[in-house]
Amino acid sequence: MAMDAGLRSFMLGVYNKVALGLLVSAGLAYLTGTYAPVRDLMFSVGANGRVGYTLLGMVISFSPIVLLFGSMFFMKNPTARGAGTLYWAVVAAIGASLGVNVLLYTGASIFQTFLITAAAFGALSLVGYTTKKDLTAFGSFLIMGVFGILIASVVNLFMKSPALYLAINGLGVLIFAGLIAYDTQRLKMTYYALRGDDASMGVATNYGALSLYINFINLFQFLLAFMGARR
């Protein structure tokens, strides 16, 4: 029972950090999408209504990838403070870049899609938390799928194929839905491997929140592509 109480406390700490990260992201997205001085620094709107990124917007939107890959080389022995700094830096960058959705989609459809994503996230995370099936092999397959849709997305920047765009979004929903369940189970296993080591648990909380946050944001983005009502 003591271990179960510890697990619940650990997972609650992860979910609280994810929720706070989403709240910060929503605030930053609203700021960059509606406050004209900041919006004009981040995004451009053409005469035909086409929304794009400025140079600064491109730098900020790609900075999470740079931060994540950079952390693999520069954070060989991460501390809780270092992992926490990485988490909030990624949250801030992603939140600021999400302002483009405020320009592209109606507020009602963004809110509706967020609620659906939150409900799906809760259900999928519960599956990962309660299932007794080992999802390790399933998770490895899904991670390969992430690289696949990244490559397909780059290719479609040049092909501009509506059919490929639809396929990418459909696969994205399925892949990140699966990753939510997989990462939740992985966090459980991490807790049992590290319990008693407070320093490592602090790092695991931040990295666990980061993985679930990224899964949530990607699931939200892919669902928004299907469900969002364009302005």
Q: Which tens digits make up the pLDDT trace of 40-93?
A: 999 998 777 788 899 999 999 999 999 999 998 888 889 999 999 999 999 999
Residue 63 CA, chain-centre distance (Å), reads 14
pLDDT of residue 3: 54
Q: Taking the CB of residue 194, how many other CB atoms lie within 10 A of it?
A: 16
Number of domains in the chain: 1
pTM of the entire predicted model:
0.94
CA 9 vs CA 16, 146, 227: distances in Å: 10, 30, 35
Q: What is the model's pLDDT at position 213? A: 98
CA 177/CA 194 separation, integer angstroms: 26
Kindly state the helix (H) or strand (E) to which residue 68 belongs, with its residue range: helix 55-74
Give residue 2's pLDDT.
46
Residue (of 174, 172, 176) closest to 184 by Cα position: 176
Neighbouring residues of 100: CB distance < 8 A, sequence distance ≥ 6: 33, 42, 43, 51, 53, 57
Mean pLDDT value across residues 212-229: 95
Query: How many CB atoms sit inside 10 A of residue 3's CB?
Result: 10
pLDDT digits (tens, 9 = 90+) for 106-130: 999 999 999 999 999 999 999 999 9
Range of the domain at 83: 2-227
CA distance 17 to 12: 9
Average pLDDT of the chain is 93
Amino acid identity of 89?
Answer: A
pLDDT value, residue 197: 85
